[in-house]
Structure 1
Amino acid sequence: MPCTEAYKEHIMYTFNGFCKTVIRFAALNAWRDRSRRRQKEISLEYLTEEKFYPLGTTDEYFEAPYEEYPITICGQTVILTNGELAAALLSLPERKREIIFLYFFGDYTQQEIGEMYGRCRSTAWHHIHSALQMLHKEMEVLFREES
């Protein structure tokens, strides 16, 4: 069935009228929601004047800072907050400590660490892995001693 120009125009006007109605009711609903929200809101100034609560908080995290354990590796000082980890790192051989420091604290890649020590990447990975295993064993020993 062919559509006439008058019918197309009628559909366009009907659609435009529908869109205007939908937009108008959406605006009315948004306005009602906003006014309901405003009626339920209580001003912060009203609460502080009425009950005299001080504006501020304290957090235990900042009141009692952790103990700090400084360790010097590769001429740089690293401050740790875990005493067991600090003791375990200090019990490692110097070279293993340096490799752990370079990889985890210095953000060096395995390739770069290998080049620094004149080795390949896989050898650097092996040294990192063995240092982590030694660190894990040492921390288990320290944990058993505390218990």
Structure 2
Amino acid sequence: MTCTEAYKEHIEYTFNAFCRVVIRYAAINAWRDRSRRRQKEISLEYLTEEKFYPLGTTDEYFEAPYEEYPITVCGQTVILTNGELAAALLSLPEKNREIIFLYFFGHYTQQEIGEMYGRCRSATGYQIRRTLRLLQREMEVLSHGKSEPFTL
């Protein structure tokens, strides 16, 4: 079926009318949204000049200075902000403290730490895991206020 020239023109006018309606209602919706938003907005000048609100706030977390707990390991001082962690680290044997310091603060590999202490990599990894378990137990004891000794 072939389309006549008049039919093609009718389709074009219908499509144009549809597009005009869609664009008109989109513009009306945009105008309504903008006016609703303006009704809810409060100007910055109103907040700062008339009400004298401060432009910034501070949190007590940042105002209070941290308590610092310095610990010396391997001739270097590490400053911790957690008192329980500092106390738990100080309760560990010196060798365990050194291994933890080298691994977590010195960023040495297990292989390098093992070479320093004359052990293989797997033995050093076991020592690190064991020391972390000891540290966890000690922190649990300190947080619960118990004075039970722990064993290896």
Asked if Structure 1 and Structure 2 have the same fold, meaning a TM-score greater than 0.5 normalized by the shorter chain, the answer is yes
- More displaced stretch, 108-117 vs 48-57: 108-117
Q: Per the alignment, do residues 54 and 137 of structure 1 end up closer, same or farther by CA in structure 2, a change over 3 Å counting?
A: closer
* Partner SS state of residue 146, structure 2: helix
Distance in structure 2 (CA, Å) of the matches to 1:25 and 1:35: 15
CA root-mean-square deviation: 3.2
Asked if 1:135 corresponds to 2:135, the answer is yes
Measured after TM superposition, the shift of residue 36 of structure 1 is: 1.6
CA deviation after TM superposition for structure 1 residue 24, in Å: 4.9
Q: Check 1:136–1:35 CA distance in 2 against 1; reply closer, same or farther (3 A cut).
A: same
Q: Which moved more, 1:87-96 or 1:113-122?
A: 113-122
| Distance change (3 Å), C-alpha of 1:117 and 1:47 | same
Instruction: State the SS of the aligned residue for 2:136.
Output: helix
- 1:30 corresponds in structure 2 to 30
| 1:23-62 equivalence runs, <5 A | 23-62=23-62
* CA distance 1:17–1:134, shift in 2 (3 Å): same
Q: 1:4 to 1:136 in 2, by over 3 A?
A: same
Cα shift readout 1:105-124 (whole Å, capped 9, x = no counterpart): 33444344334444333212
Distance in structure 1 (CA, Å) of the matches to 2:9 and 2:107: 69
Q: Where does residue 100 of structure 2 map in the other structure?
A: 100
Structure 1: how far apart are the matches of 2:2 and 2:123? 80
Residue 95 of structure 1 aligns to a residue whose secondary structure is helix
Where does structure 1 lack aligned partners over 5 or more consecutive residues? none
Shift of 1:63: 2.4
Taking structure 2 as the reference length, the TM-score comes to 0.70
Aligned to 1:79: 79
- Give the residue type in structure 2 aligned to 1:89: L
Aligned equivalents of 2:19, 2:95: Cα separation in 1: 74
Partners of 2:89 and 2:130 in 1: CA distance: 13
For structure 2, the 5+ residue unaligned runs are 148-152
